[in-house]
Structure 1
Amino acid sequence: MAVVSAPPPGLHAADADARLLAPFTTWPDGPDGVAVSQFQVGGIHCAACSGIIESALLALPGVEQASVNPASARLALRWRPSQLPLADVLAGLQAVGYSATPDVAAPARDLRRREKRQALWRLFVAGFLMMQVMMMATPAYVAGAGELAPDLDQLLRWASWVMALPVMAFSAAPFFAGAWRQLRAGHLGMDVPVALGIGVTFVASTGALFDPGGLLGRDVYFDSLTMFIALLLLARWFELGARHRAAEALEAVAGSLPTAAERLLDDGRSERVAPESLRVGDRIRVAAGEAFAADGLVLSGQGWVNEALLTGESAPVAKALGDPVVAGSINGDGPLVVAVQRVGADTTAQGIVRLMQQAQSQRPPAHGIVDRVAAGFTAGVLLLALAAGLAWWWVEPSRAVAVAVAVLIVTCPCALTLAAPAAWLTASGALARRGLLLTDLSALERLCGVGTVVFDKTGTLSEDRLQLQRHWSSGGDADALLAQARSLAALSRHPHARALVDGRDASGWTDVHELPGRGVEARDATGRTWRLGAPGWVSERPDPAARLAFGSGDSALWMDLAEEPREDAHEALAALRGAGLRLRLLSGDQPAAVARMAAALDIVHWHAGASPDTKLALLRDWQARGERVLMVGDGINDAPVLAAADVRIAMGQGAMLARAAADALLVSNRLMALPQAVSLARRTRRVLRQNLAWAALYNLACVPLALAGLLPPLAAGIGMAASSLFVVLNAQRLAR
C-alpha cells in the first residue's frame, strides 16, 4: 500500500494544523485514513514508562496504537486527527507526567538540550554533595575508639543530613516522580524499588540522627544514599547520551536538504524557490558546494558529489550525464543541471528519516519480555525486602531497616531493563553508519539464525547499469564508429545507450528521433542517417553475438553489453561464505546472463528465467527443507519473495523507501554491509545474553549477602549502579 506523505486535504483546523502535522506525520492508509506521527518524549527513565505512556494514550478517543521505545525515547502514534486534536495528545502525555514534542528537528533539539542540561545539573549536585558527605563520614570510619568526640561526631552527622537534602529534593526527584507514575498506573517498574530504597534509607537515617537511642538505631547512611543516587544518575547519563546521539544522526539526514533551489525556466531564466515548490520534471541547477534539493538525473555537467551523509562513504562519487543524484548530497565541483524525479517526503533523505524513525520507535520483542520479567521481579523483590525486614526485626531490630534497604537497593532491576534496549539501539546505530538501515529491530535476532542468503542479480549483485564488454565492426573503423556511437548515445535515455555515455559532446546531430523498442536515429553534419539500437533494426544482417548496434548503410558497429558485478561483490560473498552461509542466485534474467554472473562470483546454486511465482515457490521449498533464508533484492520486482523470506533486505534508493516493506534497506549499495550485519547481529546476541546473564548473576550473588546482613547499603548501591553501567558500556562495544 502506498504511503502518502502529505496530509489529507481539507483537514479541519480544529483537529490539527495540517502544515504542523506534515513534517512528522505520514498517512499509510491514504488521505482519508489514520495518521502515524512521530514524537520525542521527555521524562522517560525506565521501561515501565513505556507502558504508562501507551496506556494513557490508548485511553484517548481516536488513538488506535501507541508504541514507545524507552531506549530512544521515541513515540510512534497511530491516531485519527479528525477525532483528536494534537493539543489533546500532548495534554494527555502531560497529565501522566511526561513532556513531548513532535519529532521535527528544532523543537526536538530544544527538548534534548533541556533534558541534557537538567540531567547534568542533577548529576553535578548529587556528585558534588556526595563527595562532601563522604568527607563528613570519613572520620567515623577511620577514627579509633574514643578518638572522635561525640559532639563532633553528631555535628558531622548533621552536616551530612543537610547536604543530603538537596540530593533528595533535586537529584533524586526523577526516581520519586517515576515511581509515583508507575504506581498510579498500576505498574511495578524499576523506579519503585529505587525510590523505596532511597526513601527508606533517608527516613531511617534521619530517625537515627534525631533519636540515636530509638528503634532505628544510631547508624546513618547518608554517604551510601548520596553515592547510590550519584552512581545511578551517572548510568542514566550514559544512556541519555546514547539516545541523543541516535537522534542527532537522524537530524543530520533530515537537515541535509537546502533551504532553496535554483529552478530553470523554459525561457532560459531561473528562479530561486523553496524545495517544497519543486515538482517532478523540473530542472534545477546545483552550483559547486551546494546540496541537492531533490532526487534526480544529471542532464548536463559532470563532477564529484559527496554522498557521505547518505551512504557513509567519505570518498566523492563521479557524476556525469544520466547519473542519479540524491537529495542531501553535496556537489563538490562544477555546476550540474538535474532533472527532478522525486521531491519532498519522497526523496531518499526523507525516506531514510522515516525508516530510522520507524526503527527507533519500535519496541523489540526481547524488550517486551524484559519488561514483563522486570515487573514480576520487582513484585518479588518488594516481598523479599519486607520479609527480610520482619525477620531481622525479631533477630536484631537495630539492623532490620538496613537489611531491608540493602535488599531493595541491590535487587533494583535497572541492569535488567537496560540490557536489551542498550544493545539493540547501539547495534542499529552501528549498522546505519555502514549504510544499512533497520526498519525492524527484531531482524537482528532473526539474522542470527539465517543459513542461506539468496540474491537477485540485476541491481543487487550487479551494477544498475550495463557495461560495454567488447566491440567490433563490419565495414569501418571500430574505434571511430564507437566514438560516434557514444556521442549519439548521449541523446538517448535507454539503459543500453547509457552504457556507452562517457561525457562526449553530443552536438552535431539533427533530426533526432527515439523509437521505443528499437533505438535512436539521427543525422550527422553531412546529412547521413545513423541508427543506434537493436541489431536487427540497425542492419539487415545483424551479428547474433551483439546486443547493441550502431551503423549507417554498410558500416556497422557491433557491441556486447553485460552487467558487471558490484565493486565489492567478490569480497562480500567471500565473507558470507566464511561466516558459514550458503549462497544462492535467483534471477528472472536469461540463463546465459545469469550463468555468467554466477561464474564470475563463484556461486554454485543459481536459477535463471524465474518469474515472481517461481521465485516464491523455490523459496518456500528451501524453507520447507529447514533453510532459514535472507533474501536480498531490489524491492520492486522481488516483492513476493522478499515478503516470504525470513529476513528481507532491499537494495538501493527510490520506490523501496516509500514502501518500507523490507526489514532493512541497504542505502549505501555496498554489499560488504551484509556480512558486517550478520557479524554484528551475532555479536549483539552475545552482548544481550551477557547483559541478561550479568543482571541475573549479580542478583543471585548479592541477594543472599543482603539477606544475611553482610551487604551494607553503601556496597549495595555501588554494586547496583555498577551493574547498570556495565550493561550500557558493554552494549557500546557494538558501536565499534
Structure 2
Amino acid sequence: MSDRVTLRIAPGAGGVSIWSEDLFAEPGAPRLRDFIARAFSVDDVAAVDIRSAEAFGRIRYAPAAAPESVWRRIAQALRPSQPRDLESAAAFERQSDPLDASNLYLDHPGRWPLRVSRIGGALSTWRLRRERDGALRLAHPALRNRRDLSHRLEERIIAILGVDDVRSRAFSSDLLLRFDPKTLPLERLVRELERAWPALIEGEDQPPSVKRLYAAGSLLTLAAVAQFAVPALRPVAVGAVVVYAAPNVAKAARQLRHGHIGLPALYSFGLGLMLLSGLPLTGTIMAALMQLWPYLTHRTIVNRQRRLFAAHRKRPVWARAPGGDGEVEVHVDDLKAGDEIVVRAGETAPVDGVAVSGLAFVADGLGRPASPLHDVGPGDPIYAGAVVRDGELTIRVERTGEATAAAHVGRILPHAAFRNLPSLYEAERVANRNARPALALAALNLMTVRAPRFSQAVIRPDYVTAPRLSAQLSALYDLADGLRQGVLFRKLAALDALSDIDVVVLDDGAGLERRTLEVDQVALLWGSAEDAIAHVAAAFAADGSARGRAIARVAAQGAATGRHVHGLRRSAGAVWFRDEAEREILVASTAYLARHGVSLPPKLERLATAQAADGTPPAILFRDGAPYGVVTFRGSGEPEARAVLTALRRRDPKIRFVHVSSRRTAAARAAAEAVGIEFAFGGLDARGKVAILRSLGRRAVWVGDGAAPDAAEVMAASDVSVSVAGFGNAPDDLADVALLRGELAGLTTLGELAQAHRARLRGDYRTVYAANLLGVAGAFLANFGSLQAGLLSNLGSGVVFARHVKRLNSLIAAIEAQRERLAG
C-alpha cells in the first residue's frame, strides 16, 4: 500500500502493531481509509487503534481468535491485489467484503488516540459501551471535558428523525441515546454520528455558562465556614467577596461619573454595608441566588425548546430513490434539485418538492394553509417534515437539506436564552429606576440611626432577576404557542412591539381580494341534499380545511347538523364512516377514483372533474358502494379580510387600517372599501409606500408578501413587518413575523399572542413587587434583616419561575398530544 520501506510490524497475541509514517501520520488520507476497510474485511478484527502523533496503528483481534490464522488473513487482505492461485482466491472470496471507511472522521484537530470499531454493520470512531433494544451508550475521547462539544452534539443528534432522546456527559465522554430502530437503523445512526463531527468542532453554540454560578457557590461555602466554623477565615471571605464584586463597583463608578445611579451603585452600597458588618454570608447567599435564577432559566430554555420545536427540527437522513434495478437508499445531503424519491406510508418527506405520481394522505402541521391533514396528488407541493399516513408518492426534489422551508424555520428557532428583547431592556430600566429611591432610603437611614441592619434590608430585594427570567420564559412560550398556530416570530422583538401598534398598513400581497370558499352545487342521483351536506360535513369536520369550514356553514343553516356518525377512517383521497342508519358512506376525491379505476354516471362525471378557481376539488359521495352525489365549491364568499379586520377593531377600537398599492388608485380604493379599510393609496412604487409609512407618524405594522423582491425597503420602514407569503416561501421571507398558513386570519392570532404576552409580564411584575415591598415593609414593622428581605424577594422570583415552567410543561403536553394525533 506504500512505496516506502520505513515500516515496522510486530504481531502479538492480541493484535498486530504497525509503525508507518505513510499510513498513520496523515489521519484523513485515502490510504489510511483503505487500510482500515481492508483490515475490517477480516471477521476476527475487532478494532483498529490509531495514534497519528506516533505514526502508530494496532489491529486488534477478537479475544477468541487464533492469532496465527488471523494474521495470515489480515496479511492477505492488506495486499493491494487479489491472490493469483485459485485456492487462495477462493479463500479470499470467502472473507467479508470491506466495510465502508469513507465516512469515518479521522482528522480531529486535537489528534486524540482513535479507535475504529464495528457498531452494527458500520465502522465508527465511537466506542460502544452498551447496547440494548433502542438504547446505546457510546464514548469518544474528543468529548472529555468539552461541554461545548457535548452541547452541540445533543442539539444536532436530537434533530435526527428516529432519535428520541440524547444525553451527553462531558466529564466521562459518554453519549446516551434512545432511538427507534425501525425509523433509524443502527448503521444509519452511526454514520450520522460520524458525519456530525465537522459541525461540532466548527460550531459556535455554547451551553449555559456555570463559571459565575460556581464562583458564587464557592464564595457561599467560604463565607459559611468563616462565619460559623473558622472565624479566622472571615477576612479571607470578605476579601473574596470584594474581588467578586469589583466589576460592579467599577461599573457604578463609571455611571456616577456620567451622573447615573442604578443597580451597580445599589450593589456597591450593599458591599460597603457588608464591609461595615464584617459578615459576608447574607451577601453571598443573595449573590448565589442571583446567579442561580439565570442559570435555571437558561437550562429551562435549552431543555424545553428541544421538545417544543422537535417537530420543526426533526429531519430524515436518508431517502429512497427509484433506480433501474429497483430502489436505492441515498443520503438526503446527496440529493439535488430534479431528482426523484419515493415516500411510503409511515415515512416522512425528507425534501421540499412536487408530487409527480401517486396519492397520499399526509399530516403536515405547517406545510399547507388548508389543513394539517390533507391529500397530496400529482402536481401538489409537499414539504420536508410531512408524514405520509397512507398511500405512496413519487416526489420531484426542489429543495434539500438546509435549503428546505422546515430547515429555515428550524434555524430561526432558539437553542438557548434570548437577547435583544425590548422586555429585557425594560426590566433593566425599571430596576435601575427603583434602585434610586431604595438607595436614598438606605443611605438616609444609615446616616440617621448609624445601624446597617435596616439599610441592608431595604436594598436587598432583587428588582431585576425575576423580570428578566419572566421576559425570557414568556418569549419562549409565545414563540412556541405561536408556531403551533402557524405564526413564526423571525424577530422576537416584534412580540413586545406589537402591543403598541396604532396603524396596520396592508400592501398588495396581503390578499385583500381573497374570498372565502363556499359550497357551489349539490348534485344528486337520489337522496336528500341534507343527507349529502351532513355526510360531507362529517368527513371534513376534523381537518379544519377551507372545504370543512364552507360545508359547516351550510350545515349549520339547516337540518344537517347533529347527525351521528361512527367508525370514521381516512386514507389517501377518501373518508369512510357509517351514518345513523348504519349505511356505509364514502366521501372520495377524483384522484382516489382515478387511482382505483372507479367511473361515475355521466350526470356526476361533469361536476366531478370540475374544480374551484383556486383548485379546490369536489367531494364525491357513495352510499353502500354506489355513487349518489357530488358537492362542488367555489371561492365566491365575502372577502376573508373583512372578518379579520372586524375582529381586530373589536379588540382595539383605536387601531386604523391603510391600504397601499401599486395598482391604480380607483382599484386600490375599491379593494379597501370592500373590506372596510378607511384609507387607500394607489399608483405607488416601493419608495412611495415607504413615504406613506413615514408620513403616518405612528407606530405601524406592515402586512404583505415578505418574500417579494420589492418588499424589503417597505418592511424596513415599518415598526413590525408581517408576511402572509406562507410556509413554502419561508426561506425567502424577510418579514419580522411570518404567517405560515398564508392566511390573513393569522393577524387575529398574532394580536392575541401579543396581548397575552403583555398581560403575562404585568402579572409577573405584580408578583415580584409584592414580594419585594413585603420585605421592605417587614424591615419597618417586623425588624427584618437583609436575609429575610432577600429571601422574600427570591420567593417571588421562585413563584414567577415555577409558574412559567408549569405553563411551558402544559404547552409541551398539548403540542406532543397534537403531534400524536396528526401522526395517527
TM-score bracket for this pair, using the shorter chain length: 0.5 to 0.7
Which residue among 408, 415, 433 is the counterpart of 1:351? 408
One-letter code aligned to 2:701 = L
Q: 1:316 maps to which residue?
A: 373
Distance 1:711 1:464 in 2: 66
Q: 1:7 maps to which residue?
A: none
TM-score between both structures, scaled by the size of structure 1: 0.53
Which residue among 622, 627, 649 is the counterpart of 1:577? 649
Q: 2:675 maps to which residue?
A: 603
Which residue among 616, 624, 629 is the counterpart of 2:695? 624
Shift of 1:352: 0.5
Flag the structure with more relative contact order, 1 or 2, with Cα contacts below 8 A and sequence separation at least 6: 1
Partner SS, residue 406 of structure 1: helix
TM-score between both structures, scaled by the size of structure 2: 0.48
Q: Does 1:288 align with 2:339?
A: no
Partner SS, residue 334 of structure 1: strand
Contact 2:417 2:472 in 1 (8 A): no
Q: Does 1:304 align with 2:361?
A: yes
Partner SS, residue 333 of structure 1: strand
Shift of 1:248: 1.4
Q: Cα–Cα, structure 1 residues 303 and 647, in superposed 2: closer, same or farther, change >3 Å?
A: same
Q: Cα–Cα, structure 1 residues 709 and 609, in superposed 2: closer, same or farther, change >3 Å?
A: closer
Which residue among 731, 748, 752 is the counterpart of 1:658? 731
Give identity over the alignment, percent. 23
Q: Does 1:437 align with 2:491?
A: no
One-letter code aligned to 1:428 = L
Contact 1:298 1:319 in 2 (8 A): yes
Q: Does 1:106 align with 2:179?
A: no
Deviation string 1:582-638 (CA, Å, 9 cap, x unpaired) is 455556679999899878xx503399996661x763564365245544322222336
Contact 1:309 1:328 in 2 (8 A): no
Which residue among 297, 301, 305 is the counterpart of 1:239? 297
Query: Bigger shift: 329-338 or 175-184?
Result: 175-184
Distance 1:704 1:263 in 2: 72
Q: 1:682 maps to which residue?
A: 755
Shift of 1:346: 1.3
Shift of 1:453: 3.2
Contact 1:386 1:404 in 2 (8 A): yes
Q: 1:256 maps to which residue?
A: 314
Distance 1:381 1:111 in 2: 45
Distance 2:698 2:168 in 1: 45
Q: 2:792 maps to which residue?
A: 719
Contact 2:665 2:682 in 1 (8 A): no
Shift of 1:287: 1.2
Contact 2:724 2:743 in 1 (8 A): no
Shift of 1:715: 2.7
Partner SS, residue 410 of structure 1: coil
Distance 2:793 2:499 in 1: 31
Distance 1:629 1:289 in 2: 45
Please give the residue correspondences for 1:519-598 in structure 2 after superposition, counting only pairs within 5 Å.
572-579=644-651, 580=653, 581-583=655-657
Deviation string 1:105-151 (CA, Å, 9 cap, x unpaired) is 625777998889999x99xx99xx9xxxxxxxxxxxxxxxxxxxxxx
Q: Cα–Cα, structure 1 residues 699 and 464, in superposed 2: closer, same or farther, change >3 Å?
A: same
Contact 2:771 2:795 in 1 (8 A): no
Q: Cα–Cα, structure 1 residues 608 and 193, in superposed 2: closer, same or farther, change >3 Å?
A: closer
Partner SS, residue 413 of structure 2: helix
Contact 1:287 1:335 in 2 (8 A): yes
Partner SS, residue 317 of structure 1: strand
Q: 1:27 maps to which residue?
A: none
Please give the residue correspondences for 1:472-487 in structure 2 after superposition, counting only pairs within 5 Å.
none
Deviation string 1:183-212 (CA, Å, 9 cap, x unpaired) is 7888999799889979988996979xxxxx
Q: 2:465 maps to which residue?
A: 414
Please give the residue correspondences for 1:180-195 in structure 2 after superposition, counting only pairs within 5 Å.
none
Distance 1:668 1:201 in 2: 58
Q: 2:498 maps to which residue?
A: 447
Instruction: Provide the alpha-carbon RMSD of the alignment.
Output: 6.2
Shift of 1:180: 6.9
Partner SS, residue 154 of structure 2: helix
Q: 1:648 maps to which residue?
A: 721
Shift of 1:702: 4.8
Distance 1:703 1:259 in 2: 58
Q: 1:529 maps to which residue?
A: none
One-letter code aligned to 2:338 = G
Distance 1:719 1:384 in 2: 19
Query: Bigger shift: 646-655 or 375-384?
Result: 375-384
Distance 1:655 1:349 in 2: 9
Q: Does 1:364 align with 2:437?
A: no
One-letter code aligned to 2:496 = E
One-letter code aligned to 2:487 = L
Shift of 1:440: 2.0
User: What runs of 5+ residues in structure 1 fail to find an aligned partner?
Assistant: 1-16, 18-85, 88-97, 130-156, 208-221, 394-398, 471-499, 509-545, 549-559
Which residue among 314, 317, 329 is the counterpart of 2:386? 329
One-letter code aligned to 1:617 = G
Deviation string 1:626-665 (CA, Å, 9 cap, x unpaired) is 5544322222336144343332111244674334421111
Deviation string 1:569-591 (CA, Å, 9 cap, x unpaired) is 66544422322344555566799
Distance 1:457 1:321 in 2: 30
One-letter code aligned to 2:315 = L
Count of residue pairs brought into register by the alignment: 512
Deviation string 1:229-268 (CA, Å, 9 cap, x unpaired) is 8977885576346423553157514641111011234x47
Shift of 1:304: 1.9
Which residue among 254, 261, 271 is the counterpart of 2:328? 271
Q: Cα–Cα, structure 1 residues 449 and 404, in superposed 2: closer, same or farther, change >3 Å?
A: closer
One-letter code aligned to 1:305 = V
One-letter code aligned to 1:259 = V
Distance 1:386 1:431 in 2: 47
Partner SS, residue 351 of structure 1: helix
Distance 2:167 2:245 in 1: 22
Shift of 1:273: 1.1
Distance 1:343 1:159 in 2: 62
Partner SS, residue 447 of structure 1: helix
Contact 2:642 2:676 in 1 (8 A): no
